[in-house]
Amino acid sequence: MELLNRFLLLTVSNGILGALALLPAQARAPEGTPPKVQLSLFNDAAVPLDVIAGAQLRASSVLENAGVEVEWLSCRPKNKTDFSPATPECSTFAWPEHLSVRIVRRGTSVGDNVFGMSFLDGSGEGVYASIYYGNMIDSKAYSGLSDADLLGYAIVHEVGHLLLGPHSHSPNGVMQAKWQKSTFVAASQGRLLFSESQANLIRDRLERVNCRARLAQKAESLAQPDTNLVGRRVGLPTALF
């Protein structure tokens, strides 16, 4: 019986691993289930909580318009001298499904007109983005747009770089390189969004990794020994066929 149990576990595990290997590039989540990205938010600049909440709402609405669900993690250090996060989940970053957004007052090596920066490795992937809140609130270019909305759009822009990769600026929309007066007007009207092609690429990347995660979880659950098999006669389960 023990030998049969091991055979069944090996058969199921190999089947799931085979499915992982054959997963197509355009793998889709179950219909009606949008792909999800986790954003760990570090408020090092001590931005008022109502501004943070408004920024999260704005950023979520832009990403949801692109067909992506956002899960926010509020992250803070354990104490002022320890920069490791108090919440363990805040340090388990993985591209592209779990990204870090850190809000600081200023950047040490950027101009006053820079609102944020994302960091990509040689392969064009990255999980870290910084937002320079002091530069934002000192700017006079966005009259008519609240601090919360501007912060939300800045977060989306930098997250967009992380999800889209290098050379992801566009002539219009939320991924514009230089934000002009017309950009802020579009933002105030809720029209500063990802293009269709950008949204498609973001969804494809997230759907692929989300689908792999679901298959891996399924493999792990199926690989657990069935203790109910002990002490009774066993036949091959029909679910394997």
Q: Where are the domains of the chain?
A: 36-207
What is the model's pLDDT at position 113?
Answer: 85
- What is the fold, at CATH topology level, of the domain defined by 36-207? Collagenase (Catalytic Domain) (3.40.390)
H or E segment at 119? Answer: strand 116-119
Structure tokens of 97? 């499904």
Q: Is 129 helix (H, G, I), strand (E, B) or coil?
A: strand
Mark 23-35 as b/e (b = at least 16 C-beta within 10 Å): eeeebebeeeebb
Which residue(s) pair with 22 in the sheet? none
Residues with Cβ within 8 Å of residue 164, at least 6 apart in sequence: 175, 198, 201, 202
What is the enclosing helix (H) or strand (E) of 197? helix 196-222
pLDDT confidence of residue 12: 40
What is the distance between the terminal CA atoms of the chain, rounded to a whole angstrom? Answer: 20
Residues with pLDDT less than 70, the chain: 1-32, 77-86, 212-241
The answer to whether residues 1 and 229 touch, using CB atoms and an 8 Å cutoff, is yes
* pLDDT of res. 19: 44
